[in-house]
Structure 1
Amino acid sequence: MAEWRTEGCGVRRAPERVEAVTGAMLVTPADLATVLARVESAGRARFPDSFAGLEVDQAAVRGIVYRVPSADFDAFLRAEGAEVCLEVRDARHDLRTLLTLQERIVADLGHWRAAGIEIGVVGCRHDGTGVEVSTRQVAQAEDQLPRRYGREVPVLVRDEAPPRPLTGQ
């Protein structure tokens, strides 16, 4: 079961907007935001072997939940999605697994700096595909990081300079 939707998706909803200086901006409706907060909280606490992450599609007025398939978590999502639209998609890895790898990489930043790989940002992909790192030393990172951490959970390398702090004027 790669993808399915909750009962709440059967009701068509118009996107909500607020006026901003630059014009109308899409926002997440309060009822959907409340459900997504409950899903994230329960996913992290009660279903850590399944929950991978969330995404909001404000134009379609739906939440997208990424999870490693689990009958118990799916039942929870069906109940939560009775009144709002939740699209449920398979994920390769749960958030807990991704966070473990993320923490290992962050703990090793000194090692990577000494090896000539300057890592700027490390973060879990919300769709459960892997852990993303940014660096200018892409070829080195793509070669060396999997050697250290294995290939079970992909390390996705993005060509990007480390962030620079803002300076006061």
Structure 2
Amino acid sequence: MRRVVLPVLLLVAVVSCARPEAAGIGGQEMTTGPATTTYSEPPDTTSYPPGFNNEDLHKAAEALKPLLEGEFATTYSRLTVRDNVPMLVIYRKPNPRFEAEVWKTAPNVRIDFRDARYSYAELSEHQRRLMNDIEHWKTRGITINSAGLGQDGSALDVGTETDPPKDVVRQLEAHYPGMSFKVERIGEIVPATR
């Protein structure tokens, strides 16, 4: 029996190390966080309760939304569900009170807290300003058709209909000081037909 156990344990270790990164919400590829990642277990639990499944993980993410986007909008940045682990990845500006409140709201969920450059409030404000300035950017040859909060809280993601000028990021950062931008041509957005 002892001869069988060691090879089986070795095989399990090798297989678990070779797993690919999880897909994010909507099947998007996950981004890896900065070197300052701190993985955390819930304070008083080390494993999931019997019967826990990924639906429970998504329910925990939904239960956290009002707290994250409300009281802690200046601390919280982004939340990603990693179904294959399973765990939540929360990008935030470090704040012990915030983390304690997250554990209170989702006590039985593994959470990976990662540092973010910008908060949800900062990203949302710049997203609103940018979308209000679409006509301004058209006069400069930049046709913006989307602006989204970056996956990891490091920048505002901007989509353009055509290839933007080479210095578009510099122009955006000069117009909106204090914010970083990632710009990508995504083409024309076509409304869904019914």
Q: What TM-score, normalized to structure 1?
A: 0.80
Correspondence for 1:54: 79
Where does structure 1 differ by over 4 angstroms across 4 or more consecutive aligned residues?
Answer: none
Correspondence for 1:24: none
The share of aligned pairs that are identical, in percent, is 23
Which residue of 119, 124, 128 corresponds with 1:94? 119
Correspondence for 2:190: 164
Shift of 1:12: 6.5
Read off the aligned partner of 1:160 and give its amino acid letter. Answer: I
Read off the aligned partner of 2:95 and give its amino acid letter. Answer: S
Shift of 1:166: 4.8
More displaced 10-residue stretch of structure 1: 133-142 or 91-100? 133-142
Q: Deviations over 1:42-63 (max 9, x none)?
A: 0111111111111011111111
Query: Contact between 1:9 and 1:86, CA under 8 Å: does it hold in 2?
Result: no
Correspondence for 1:11: 47
Alignment of 1:1-169 (within 5 A): 2-7=37-42, 10-11=46-47, 29-135=54-160, 136-150=163-177, 152-166=178-192
More displaced 10-residue stretch of structure 1: 152-161 or 51-60? 152-161
Equivalent-residue separation in structure 1 for 2:106 and 2:115 (angstroms): 17
Shift of 1:167: 5.9
Read off the aligned partner of 1:105 and give its amino acid letter. Answer: L
Read off the aligned partner of 2:175 and give its amino acid letter. Answer: R
Shift of 1:36: 1.1
Between Structure 1 and Structure 2, which shows a larger proportion of strand residues?
Answer: 1
Q: Which runs of 5+ in 2 are unaligned?
A: 1-35
Equivalent-residue separation in structure 2 for 1:144 and 1:29 (angstroms): 42
Shift of 1:126: 3.3
Query: Contact between 2:48 and 2:109, CA under 8 Å: does it hold in 1?
Result: no
Q: Deviations over 1:45-88 (max 9, x none)?
A: 11111111110111111111111111210111233343121211
Query: Contact between 2:57 and 2:81, CA under 8 Å: does it hold in 1?
Result: no
- Local SS of the residue matching 1:65: strand
Q: What TM-score, normalized to structure 2?
A: 0.71
Q: Deviations over 1:15-45 (max 9, x none)?
A: x9xxxxxxxxxxx723222221122210111
How many pairs were matched up?
155
The Cα RMSD (Å) is 2.5
Shift of 1:10: 3.1
Read off the aligned partner of 1:97 and give its amino acid letter. Answer: E
Select the structure of larger CA radius of gyration: 2
Q: Which runs of 5+ in 1 are unaligned?
A: 17-27
Query: Contact between 1:121 and 1:134, CA under 8 Å: does it hold in 2?
Result: yes
Greater RCO, CA 8 A, separation 6+: 1
Shift of 1:104: 0.7
Query: Contact between 2:48 and 2:108, CA under 8 Å: does it hold in 1?
Result: no
More displaced 10-residue stretch of structure 1: 139-148 or 100-109? 139-148
Query: Contact between 2:38 and 2:112, CA under 8 Å: does it hold in 1?
Result: yes
